[in-house]
């Protein structure tokens, strides 16, 4: 199996993860009118596909560590369940935060759900494996969270969404944040700290990401039918609507899952060297990557009111400061 051997490469992998996690939503934008509940089925399938591809290629070739099949044979059920439950609650949180955005808008749902999930996710991951300089890590996290808040304030100013957010949307966003806060700590518990050990019971990154993906698919099977029957926005949809989807619509969902899944695999691979807390902290700068897509590709701020550009400058400054501090937290 391929093992990340140094911190610089681990940071590079988390940057790619950040790009992947901030870019996959573009695939949904490409198929306007295709409901997220329908898109999500193909999305979780794509995540599982890329996890299996990584497991049977990088996770199986080479002489280092345990190959994927060997790792499965020695894996303890407890750690399999940890990784699977991480995927289950991540998928549940993702569905909830999308519902929160539909009700309360991105400028409310993202800072609440994403902010709670990100900050507490770093804290819980650090408690599982307390590696790195906590001062740099948490001050850097605070700067990037500040960048996210400024980004959402700019969206709010641009859309002039100054009316009070519905309580239902806020509650759903908080629930989403709670799910997203704990998923990575469960994955961290399942990961072995040394992939070269012959028999530890824990999982390598490749096995962990496969079970994570299975958990995400199970969550979709459990909860997505509810969102299809009782959508927070629009009319109910069913299996017939999914089967009527075009090749382009289904391909967009699978592509989105492949992009997210690639980033997810790299994040798990980097966690062994960078520590779960640092890997998770760096990877979740994805919100800023998504903002870059919105600004420079989708031109979402083209007609923004005066003062918005200054807010975006502050966003990038906060982000770069935070990113630098988190990188140096390992030293």
Look at residue 162 and give its three-state secondary structure: coil
Look at residue 203 and give its three-state secondary structure: strand
In a domain, 258, yes or no: yes
In a domain, 319, yes or no: no
Lowest-confidence segment of 87-101, 179-193, 294-308 by average pLDDT: 294-308
In a domain, 235, yes or no: yes
Q: Which helix (H) or strand (E) holds 235?
A: none
In a domain, 221, yes or no: yes
Long-range contact pairs involving 127-130 (C-beta distance under 8 Å, separation at least 24): 127/185, 128/185, 128/188, 128/189, 128/276, 129/188, 129/193, 129/275, 129/276, 129/277, 130/277
Kindly tell me the burial class for residue 151, based on how many C-beta atoms sit within 10 Å of its own C-beta (0-12, 13-18, 19 or more).
Answer: buried
- The helix-helix angle for 205-229 and 167-190 (nearest 10°) equals 160
In a domain, 111, yes or no: yes
In a domain, 23, yes or no: no
- Separation between Cα atoms, residue 65 and residue 74, nearest integer Å: 13
In a domain, 282, yes or no: no
Note the pLDDT tens digit of each residue in 201-213.
999 999 999 999 9
Confidence (pLDDT) at 165: 61
Record the tokens describing residue 118, joined without a space. Answer: 């990100």
- Domains: count for the chain: 1
In a domain, 173, yes or no: yes
Taking a C-beta distance cutoff of 8 angstroms, is the pair 132, 282 a contact?
Answer: no
Average pLDDT, the chain: 89
Domain range holding 268?
29-133+161-275
Q: How confident is the model at residue 285 (pLDDT cuts 50, 70, 90)?
A: confident
Note the pLDDT tens digit of each residue in 218-261.
999 999 999 999 998 889 999 999 999 999 999 999 999 999 99
Q: Of 264, 321, 318, 277, whose CA–CA distance to 46 is shortest? A: 264
Look at residue 316 and give its three-state secondary structure: helix
Confidence (pLDDT) at 107: 60
**Could you give the dihedral angle defined by the CA atoms of residues 300, 306, 312 and 313, in that order, rounded to the nearest 10 degrees?**
140
């Amino acid at each position: 199996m391929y093992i990340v051997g140094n911190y610089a490469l681990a940071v590079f992998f988390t940057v790619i993860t950040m790009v992947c996690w901030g870019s996959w939503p573009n695939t949904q934008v490409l198929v306007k009118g295709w409901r997220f509940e329908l898109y999500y089925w193909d999305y979780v399938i794509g995540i599982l596909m890329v996890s299996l591809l990584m497991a049977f290629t990088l996770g199986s070739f080479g002489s280092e560590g345990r190959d994927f099949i060997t790792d499965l044979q020695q894996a303890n059920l407890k750690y399999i369940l940890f990784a699977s439950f991480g995927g289950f609650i991540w998928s549940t949180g993702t569905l909830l935060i999308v519902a929160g955005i539909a009700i309360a808008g991105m400028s409310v749902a993202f800072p609440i759900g994403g902010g709670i999930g990100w900050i507490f996710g770093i804290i819980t991951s650090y408690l599982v494996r307390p590696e790195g300089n906590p001062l740099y890590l948490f001050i850097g996290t605070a700067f990037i969270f500040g960048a996210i808040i400024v980004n959402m304030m700019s969206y709010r100013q641009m859309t002039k969404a100054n009316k009070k957010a519905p309580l239902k949307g806020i509650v759903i966003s908080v629930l989403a944040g709670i799910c997203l806060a704990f998923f990575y700590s469960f994955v961290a518990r399942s990961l072995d700290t040394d992939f070269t050990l012959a028999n530890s019971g824990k999982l390598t990154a490749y096995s962990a990401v496969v079970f994570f993906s299975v958990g995400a698919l199970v969550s979709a099977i459990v909860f997505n039918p509810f969102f299809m029957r009782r959508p927070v926005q629009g009319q109910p949809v069913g299996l017939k609507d999914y089967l009527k989807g075009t090749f382009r619509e289904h391909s967009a969902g699978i592509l989105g899952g492949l992009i997210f899944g690639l980033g997810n695999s790299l994040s798990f691979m980097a966690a062994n060297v960078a520590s779960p807390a640092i890997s998770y902290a760096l990877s979740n700068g994805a919100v800023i990557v998504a903002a870059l897509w919105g600004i420079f590709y989708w031109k979402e701020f083209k007609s923004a009111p005066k003062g918005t550009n200054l807010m975006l400058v502050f966003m990038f400054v906060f982000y770069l400061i935070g990113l630098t501090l988190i990188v140096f937290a390992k030293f």
